[in-house]
Amino acid sequence: MTDPAADSTASPARTPLFLDCDTGVDDALTLGYLAASPGVELVGVGSVSGNCSAETGARNTLDLLALLGLPDVPVHVGAHDPLAGSFAGGAPHVHGADGVGGTSGRELPRSAGEPSGTSAARALVDAARERPGQLVVLAVGPFTNLALALDLEPELPRLVRSLTVMGGAALAPGNVTPVAEANVHNDPEAARRVVEAGFDLTVVGLDVTMRHLFEEEHRRALLDAGTPVGAALGAMLGHYFAFYTDVFGRPCCSLHDPLAAAIALGDVALASAPRVKLTVDDTDGPGRGQTIADLRALYRGLPDRSPEDPRVVLEVAEEFAPLLLERLLPL
Ligand code: RIB
Ligand code: CA
């Protein structure tokens, strides 16, 4: 990996990043955040069934990338079904029937782009092999494509630089069941395989994402920006806010996926992110989909267990919403 600090005359290399997602309103914010990050080279995007089907997610991603001025980023359709069972239909009550709050073909225009024809799992493996030790992987949907990529390339954890996922809840309540977060709950078998695979893994779960919110003032600022991107994101946030009004008692939303992106890129400081043993309950009882983080060391000041263990983010040191808005407004 190039160290820009080693040669002050070298222009800093952009960070190659592969995104796997289930686009989705907060996934759309994430695409915007990445597009607005000059230090990032988005080398590919995989889609997976979650908020909507993998096919719909790929369509939304293509349309968003075109709107964001990145029509050449390849988009790869990934797994329709989880490792066990079948796709259950997504979360239209949260993200709309089209996954983007009813904006598809309206505020979010349909683009000419088409998916690559390569599966998301294969594309991820190829991207990792092309730049060993360099690729930053960000997964903000169910982990099915990552598990399939591990089947194709068991050395994947050592081929990539890092993996950051939005998923799980270490100490916080779940958002699908009392204990399970949606991305993990949608494919617990895949999630368990991925968290135990030996990646340099950072887990951004509900412990932090439910505490970083976009409010009506942020949505209004996007609409008032007078840009096509602001109009599309502002309109889809309207749908998303309606769901979260029942959760928080006012129109707003959690910034799940964009916060994970910012953490993957080191854009926000972490106040508490211990490395601890982590697994996922993939049994059929009431705990299905729960992430089980061994945080017993909390009682004695949370020392890191070992560098091989996943890093579980429990607290972010700064407010994220202003940074996200600042990135999105000029788009
Ligand atoms: O639980 C929140 C996560 O589930 C986010 O990634 C959201 O987009 C959905 O996929
Ligand atoms: Ca998502």
Helix H, strand E, coil C: the string for 213-248 is: EEEHHHHHHHHHCCCHHHHHHHHHHHHHHHHHHHHH
- State which ligand 1 atom lies nearest to the alpha carbon of 142: 10
The CATH number of 14-328 is 3.90.245.10
- pLDDT for res 2: 33
- 264-298 per-position pLDDT tens digit: 999 999 999 999 999 999 999 999 999 999 999 88
Q: What is the pLDDT of residue 128?
A: 98
* Shortest-distance atom of ligand 1 to CA 209: 2
**DSSP class per residue in 259-294:** HHHHHHTT-S-EEE--B--EEE--SSSTTTTBEEE-
State CA 331 to chain mean position distance: 20
| Nearest atom within ligand 1 for CA of residue 26 | 8
Cis peptide before 24 (omega within 30 of 0): yes
Confirm or reject: Cβ of 187 under 6 Å from ligand 1: no
The answer to whether the beta carbons of residues 142 and 50 sit under 8 Å apart is yes
Nearest C-alpha to atom 1 of ligand 1 is from which residue? 182
Pocket probe for ligand 1: among 144, 183, 212, 259, the residue whose CB has the most ligand atoms within 8 Å is 183
The whole-number pLDDT of residue 322 equals 98
Cα separation, 124 vs 202, whole angstroms: 18
> Residues within 5 Å of ion ligand 2 by Cβ?
22, 24, 27, 140-141, 257
Pair of tokens at residue 252: 């707003």
pLDDT at position 3: 36
Which residue numbers in the chain have pLDDT < 50? Answer: 1-11
Residues 77 and 75: their CA atoms lie apart, in Å, by 7
Closest CA to 188 of 258, 287, 89, 259: 287
Between the CA of 57 and the centroid of ligand 2 the distance, in Å, is: 10
pLDDT of residue 228: 98
User: In whole angstroms, what is the distance from residue 11 CA to residue 243 CA?
Assistant: 44
Query: 139: CA distance to ligand 2 center in Å?
Result: 8
Calpha distance 113→63 (Å, rounded): 7
Residue 4's pLDDT is 35
| Ranges of each domain in the chain | 14-328
Q: Does residue 50 line the site of ligand 1, with CB under 6 A? A: yes
List alpha helices for 5-143, DSSP H: 25-35, 54-67, 92-95, 120-130
- The predicted model scores a pTM of 0.95
Using a 6 Å cutoff on CB, does residue 140 contact ligand 1? yes
Q: Is 256 a catalytic residue?
A: yes
Q: Is the CB of 31 under 6 A from ligand 1?
A: no
| pLDDT (0 to 100) of residue 162 | 98
Q: What pLDDT, on a 0 to 100 scale, did the predictor assign at position 256?
A: 98
Q: How far is CA 320 from CA 166, 198, 238, 243, in A?
A: 15, 29, 20, 21
What does the alpha-carbon distance between residue 161 and residue 76 come to, in Å, rounded to a whole number? 21
For residue 48, the CA-to-ligand 2 centroid distance in Å is: 9
Looking at residue 5, its pLDDT comes to 36
Q: Of ligand 1's atoms, which has the minimum distance to the CA of residue 91? A: 9
* 173-199 pLDDT per residue, tens: 999 999 999 999 999 999 999 999 999
In whole angstroms, what is the distance from residue 221 CA to residue 243 CA?
A: 20
Is the CB of 186 inside a 6 Å radius of any atom of ligand 1?
no
